[in-house]
Structure 1
Amino acid sequence: MFPKTEIPRSFNAPRELVFKAFIESEHLQNWWGPKGWAFDISKFELRQEGVFH
């Protein structure tokens, strides 16, 4: 088994906005992936055992 790895991050933004960036598809589309890369989210269910397509 591999040891648990933690990579700390800090953001110059309000906590609520950072949370929204991870849970709302509208925000994810603006920052996920390399610069200049665009993608469509066809299915996004933020819940345990949810999906992200």
Structure 2
Amino acid sequence: AGVAVLMISSDMEEVIGVSDRIAVMHEGRISGILDKDHFSQENVLLLAVGKTPK
């Protein structure tokens, strides 16, 4: 049994530092979920604007 925490922040370094997974939203919908192995500022920003991360 895990724990889920909803964190809304514009401080990407903080979010990446405390997360195991990040769900990114674009236009009110989840555009992608990144696991810790795929965290990067670039990938989060790509999802935030509706694009596919590399």
TM over 0.5: no
Looking at both structures, which has the greater relative contact order when contacts are Cα pairs under 8 Å and sequence separation is at least 6? Answer: 2
Q: Which structure has the larger Rg?
A: 1
Q: Which has the higher strand share?
A: 2
With normalisation by structure 1, the TM-score equals 0.27
